[in-house]
Amino acid sequence: MTCSSFGKCGSCVLYDMSYEDEVQFKAERLRELFCDFDMPTLEIFRSKEAHFRARAEFRIWHEGDKSYYAMFGLDKKIITIDECNIVDEAISDIMQPLLDEITKNEFLRHKLYAIEFLSNVNKELIITLIYHKKWQEEQLIPHIQHLKTKFPHTDYVLRRKGKKVFVDKNYLIETLHIKEETYQYKIIESTFTQPNRYINQQMIRWAMDNSEDLEGDLVEMYCGHGNFTIPLSKRFNKVIATEISPQSIQAALFNAQLNHRDNITFLAMSAAEFARLRSDDSVLLAKYNLQNILIDPPRAGLDDKSREFTNSFENIIYISCNPQTLKRDLEVLSQDRDIKAFAFFDQFPWTNHIECGVVLSKHG
């Protein structure tokens, strides 16, 4: 892939190698990091090289009567960029025309600080305009309606300190294809969504393949809007899935209905609170056969309580966006388990970030 921002923009730091070299470089780093564990062969899941990010945020830089998209450069200073080729076509196609329209309209342009984009496979967009000024919504909305006429398939979120307004909605319906089935998900702006839908589909497929022989129920922590939960619920009798964000849980409940899944219980609670239910001999957990757990924590990995809880399951599927914290957690989780599968998902091409997965099962 080429991009005129390569070599300047601090987002893509591995720009001076081919995509295959980038994949091998990261795969080797993973193998080295986990060389003290008894790891199976690393499976590699490649991304599209360009136009793979379904969400992105750009600063807006104003200079005289012109405005530009801006990012932190490789030297950590703000730089303006003419294009970004890692974002979905839906985003890259609209970026400049949208900014041209905004630049023509002093009310929309004045103190516009940043723009966030969220797209779906149908090229619909939620565009969030973030301001460093006070505005009344009745002043801004007519200008936004003009953008909506100019750019069909866009909805807008307007944000400033202490205020957020939607015109007309703050979510999209995303479609994923996994193992010849189609799933639909409500994805809400400002809640977590996997950034790379091509890799996301491969991660869900991998989790399904690796749970084929598992029996009983599934417990899931950090479930978001039910991204893994909904397809995996077809593999298990019952599923209980938890997540800290009430908005994501609302979306997850909606998504279970949308996909006709009726064997899932979603709960909005932190992983540590949920883990505590086990030590409290909860009536809720007594209804489940607690053998299988799927976890997909944020970069910090598992807290002590959640690690102890996870360690009480026979089979663990661990999706990680931070190999360092995965390694720390594996020191405990692999003590009386075999590592059955190890995967590298290139969710963040051209960056040093690595997403990976492991499957562990109690020694036979």
Ligand X SMILES: C[S@@+](CC[C@H](N)C(=O)[O-])C[C@H]1O[C@@H](n2cnc3c(N)ncnc32)[C@H](O)[C@@H]1O
- Return the active site residues: 321, 355
Closer to ligand X at the Cβ: 102 or 341? 341
- Kind of pairing between the strands at 78-81 and 112-119: unpaired
Task: Note the residue count of the chain.
Answer: 364
- Give the total of residues touching ligand X (CB under 6 A): 17
Of 18-26, 80-88, 152-160, 293-301, the segment contacting ligand X by CB under 6 A is 293-301
- Closest-by-Cβ residue to ligand X is 224
Q: Does 310 engage in binding with ligand X (CB under 6 A)? A: no
Binding string to ligand X for residues 179 to 218, with x set by CB under 6 A, is what? Answer: -------------x-x------------------------
- 7 counts as binding ligand X under rule CB under 6 A: no
From candidates 11, 196, 227, 315, binder to ligand X by CB under 6 A: 227
Amino acid sitting at position 265 = T
Tokens of 264: 């899932």
Q: Is 142 exposed, middle or buried (0-12, 13-18, 19+ CB in 10 A)?
A: exposed
Give the binding range for ligand X (CB under 6 A) out of 66-74, 145-153, 237-245, 323-331. 237-245
Whether 323 and 302 have beta carbons less than 8 Å apart is answered as no
Residue 11 DSSP label: S
**Would you tell me how many other CB atoms lie within 10 Å of the CB of residue 180?**
5
Q: Kindly state the smallest distance separating residue 121's Cβ from ligand X, in Å.
A: 16
CA 124 – CA 251 distance, rounded (Å): 18
Query: Footprint of ligand X on residues 238-267 (CB under 6 A)?
Result: 243-245, 248
Q: What is the DSSP string of 233-257?
A: TTTSS-EEEEES-HHHHHHHHHHHH
Q: Is 270 in the site for ligand X (CB under 6 A)?
A: yes
Question: What is the binding site for ligand X (CB under 6 A)?
Answer: 192, 194, 222-224, 227-228, 243-245, 248, 270-271, 296-298, 321
